[in-house]
Chain A
Amino acid sequence: DAGVTQSPTHLIKTRGQHVTLRCSPISGHKSVSWYQQVLGQGPQFIFQYYEKEERGRGNFPDRFSARQFPNYSSELNVNALLLGDSALYLCASSLAGGEQPQHFGDGTRLSIL
């Protein structure tokens, strides 16, 4: 079975632009979470979606938004990009409930010039 897939793998943008990152979860997984990993740090939680509804939001500004589609894939949108948004963006999927482990994709490396 395919793992979590993310696109694109790399992206270069300039300040003020917006970006859309995409994620397809493992087949059967209905929960998708997004994380931001700045160089030298651990991932930080941005959003979680389950059954197309937002179930959690981390400490990120309103420039960050996300949605989940009927096929459980997800998009992360970031508006008015800042230099500090340069990071690896990771998507993770999991089965619902309990202490199910999250399975991560390879990430999208976003660079802001």
Chain B
Amino acid sequence: AQKITQTQPGMFVQEKEAVTLDCTYDTSDQSYGLFWYKQPSSGEMIFLIYQGSYDEQNATEGRYSLNFQKARKSANLVISASQLGDSAMYFCAMRNRQTGANNLFFGTGTRLTVIP
């Protein structure tokens, strides 16, 4: 069975500092994909970054990077130079192969608050 665990219900970070949001996963698949999404209070899920299980290097997208440690089954999101607009819920997700469809299995999320 697949499982996504986000152990930090809430995190605080000072503006302009870096923050790491934790995500551990469990799957029996050899090939899998991991995603991070941001959800502001408006409700929309915004795609941030993707890491494939066979990717040699950690994914980066602007201020977002993914610290992928395959042996430890962790895929932590690092946000550098935090901005006030980064305050939101952040979800780690994995491609759900159990239903045979292209859909995602989400963790419970981490609420990030950026302090001025």
Query: A-side interface residues toward B, CB under 8 Å?
Result: 31, 33, 35, 40-45, 48, 50, 55-58, 88, 90, 92, 94, 96-97, 99-107, 109
| Cα–Cα, bound, A71→B42 (Å) | 27
A interface footprint on B80-95 (CB within 8 Å = 1, 0 otherwise): 0000000000010101
Give the distance in Å from the alpha carbon of A31 to the alpha carbon of B95 in the complex.
Answer: 15
The complex places the Cα of A97 from the Cα of B81 at a distance, in Å, of 34
Q: What is the bound-complex CA distance between A40 and B47, given in angstroms? A: 19
Contact B43 A109 (CB under 8 A): yes
Residue in chain A with minimal CB distance to B32: A99
Interface residues of B (CB under 8 A from A): 4, 33, 35, 37, 42-47, 50, 52, 91, 93, 95-96, 99-109
Task: Enumerate chain A residues within 8 angstroms of B46, measured Cβ to Cβ.
Answer: 104
Q: Which residue of A lies closest to B104 (CB)?
A: A102
B50 touches A42 (CB 8 A): no
Closest 8 CB pairs of A and B: A56-B101, A42-B106, A104-B45, A56-B99, A48-B101, A45-B103, A99-B33, A107-B43
4 new A-B contacts, CB < 8 A, other than A56-B101, A57-B101, are A55-B100, A55-B101, A56-B103, A104-B44
Chain B residue nearest in CB terms to A33: B103
B-side contacts of A101, CB under 8 Å = 35, 47, 50
List residues of chain A with CB within 8 A of the CB of B52: 99
Q: From residue A37, how far is it (CB to closest CB) to chain B in Å? A: 8
A97, closest chain B residue (CB): B102
**Cα distance A93–B47 when bound, in Å?**
12
B101 lies within 8 A of A33 (CB): yes
- Known: A104-B45, A105-B44. Contact between A58 and B103, CB under 8 A? yes
The reply to whether A33 and B43 contact each other, CB–CB distance below 8 Å, is no
Which of A31, A56, A100, A105 gathers most chain B CB within 10 Å?
Answer: A56
Can you name 8 A-B pairs with beta carbons within 8 Å?
A33-B101, A42-B109, A57-B101, A88-B43, A92-B104, A104-B45, A106-B43, A106-B44
CB-based nearest A residue for B105: A45
